[in-house]
Chain A
Amino acid sequence: MSASTLDSDAVADGHWHDSGHNRKGFFTDTSICIGCKACEVACKEWNNNPQDGTFELLGSSYDNTGSLGANTWRHVAFIEQDTERIEAARESGRKLVNLGMPAIRPRPDESAGAQPLGGALGAAASGSTGIAADGNGLPSTPPMGIDLLAPGTLDPSSPEDIAKLDTTPPDTADFRWLMSSDVCKHCTHAGCLDVCPTGALFRTEFDTVVVQNDVCNGCGTCVAGCPFGVIERRDDGTINTPTDRDRKAADMDVPNKNTANKCTLCYDRLVEGQEPACAQTCPTESIKFGDRDDMVDKAHARIAQLHSQGLTEARLYGANPNDGVGGTGSVFLILDEPEVYGLPPDPRVATKDLPQMYAKAGMAALGMVAAAGLAFLGSRR
């Protein structure tokens, strides 16, 4: 169990022991995302990022952005699901809770998530103290069509109020829209950072991962190193932001061309004490920004609340310090399996396997020397 080592690991990686800053991060609560894409716009504007593509329609619901990339650092995914998929999501979420992992239990705000995993596992070991709405320790599935935004639904102090809600299925009862704003995960163990051969990628005093575009030589190793497909080399793109319109076409150079680009968690804003552009603009506070510990606490509190309302499809992504990347700086609450959103279900930073790969390379090298030696010894003149 290394739950408590999470942040010290990240700090040690960056050698920022005395910076006096806490690790910063996002908590993206997709259950209250309305798909307005204000985050995408704010991100593009603030970071002066070129447009992707030629504004074509991609045929994927309202998502005409496609994916995260060199020029797109926030990407809102849209998924349309029918009853069958909703039930499947609820079932897979229930399985996740049933794994012997910590049971659902209400968290007082003060203690919630201070030791997320250890504390929760402890609770599981000492017998479930979770909310047991039915016999198997899980809340019963409520009728379809609960409006998450309806008054009372989101009020953590009154989960019983769910009974008083108007549960008459609206005309979209057999359908739901998943909307999720994806972003760089700012991993505790960042694959892109580990493999960067120039030191262009570095860990900031906020424990985020940022590219120095004046150092990057565009080798592209980080692109392969990212388990989430976030970072990318900016090989093309056009730019014509409102302030640029008076410039000649020849002047409209794409900034930082042919170097790796990705979300900086608005490093330039953080050093000024500001919050990232996407979080500031988000009208529903689906994107929350703050100290990473607080974000994880909020995530745990929110998931407990949703589960208590019977929404077992809700799950956290990136809040576990024992996962393959040591937990992510950007934590998500999602409502279906990660791959539904285009997220990897079990990402693992490749650096974890590197010692073993170097050992194999060493063995291979010795074998090659031996083979060459034998070739000369076995050869006649």
Chain B
Amino acid sequence: MVEDVEFTSYYGRPIVKAPPWGDEISLYLFLGGLAGGSSLLGLGAQFSDRPGLRIATRFTAITATGIGGAALVADLGRPERFLNMMRVFKVSSPMSMGTWILSGFGVGSGILAAIEVDRLTGEKLLPLGPLRAVLHAFETPAALESALFATPLAAYTGALLGDTAVPTWNAAGRNGLSYVFVSSAAVAAGGAAMALVSVREAGPARLFALGGAAGEMIAMDQMKKRMHPAEVDPMEEGEPGHKLHRAEKLLIAGAIGTAVAEVGARVFAKKLGGGWKTRTALRALSVVSGAALAAASAYTRFGVLEAGIESTKDPRHVVEPQHARLAERRARGIVDDSITTGV
């Protein structure tokens, strides 16, 4: 069966509706990934004795969680009812699962941040008394707990957007949006740590970011190839397209800078203690590359979210892929599952 070249629509009006999700949700997608990735780096830093990396990533994680959570609440129609999210635990709702994941993540992440604050203030400022020992005893359990929720936090948003009738999101979700999002989370967390931590300690952050960059390029490419052209279009055109192209450029530039910084750090490993010129150059390169990577991740999230919103505006993005899959099933001889029936 030949796919219809043209289609009719009801005065060009949308068939599906875009959710009332604005920049707050895009910001949350970015910050959730940043928090999750940072938590993993923090756990590794704790076990590999990199205090600078550990402190920076733990503060990044709790800050991102706090702002991200606040952004989620702010985007609600009735923010005062945000606790209603905790009425149910509902597997069929990625939004419900995400609420529990974010809450679980926030507990461990909050404890770790409190511990770091206490350490930085010489274990004197916080009026903890005998509870101080209890708090510090929870460091490793809290680090493990937050790391347990970290990857679901970075990954579930792919299912959140995918589990909708929004054509571009749904198609992306079915074709690996979660791979794009965890990669983007690694890019963001690695980039932020590179910008905040000394070159000497940021080695794992650089490798994490490089792995994420490679993963994002491959996953994004594969995902787009598997989607229907009418579902990909909103990711290529208009403002969302600009954002995603900008994300790609920043990702490549940041990855090259990171690779140079990593090679530099290894080649000049011995000099890092001495030559201030080398050290400063590598540090500057790290900050710039890290910032570029974090920005790339943010652009990816804003771009994907806005591309989905855009895909609801023109019914073409709904009708063409649905015609195609209906025709494809009929070509395979499956003719009993259409919503439109002749009898």
Contacts and interface: CB of A to CB of B under 8 A. Distances in A.
Interface string B163-183: 111100110011011110110
A344 B319 contact: yes
Contacts of A341: 10
A364 interface: yes
B20 A323 contact: no
A375 interface: yes
Interface in A324-348: 324-325, 328, 334, 336-347
B81 interface: yes
B337 to A, nearest CB: 4
B181 A221 contact: no
A336 B158 CA distance: 36
Tell me if B's interface is mostly helix, strand, loop or mixed. helix
B182 A364 contact: yes
A117 B338 CA distance: 11
Interface in A61-106: 63, 66-67, 69, 77, 79, 85, 93, 96-105
Nearest to B48: A376
Contacts of A67: 13-14
Nearest to A318: B339
B208 A224 contact: no
A87 to B, nearest CB: 14
Nearest to B158: A361
A99 B342 CA distance: 9
A344 to B, nearest CB: 5
A357 B174 contact: yes
A262 to B, nearest CB: 11
B315 A339 contact: yes
Contacts of A102: 342-343
Nearest to A61: B11
Contact of B211 (A117, A364, A371): A371
Contacts, number: 337
B35 interface: no
Contacts of A104: 342-343
A287 B217 CA distance: 52
B44 interface: yes
Contacts of A381: 200, 203
B155 A361 contact: yes
A224 B179 CA distance: 21
Contacts of B200: 381
Contacts of B10: 60, 77, 79, 339-342
Interface string B317-334: 011001101100010010
Interface stretch (B87-95, B130-138, B240-248): B87-95
B76 interface: yes
Interface of A: 1, 58-60, 63, 66-67, 69, 77, 79, 85, 93, 96-105, 116-117, 120-121, 191, 194-200, 215-221, 223-233, 235, 257-260, 300, 303-304, 307, 315-320, 322-325, 328, 334, 336-347, 350-351, 353-354, 356-358, 360-369, 371-376, 378-381
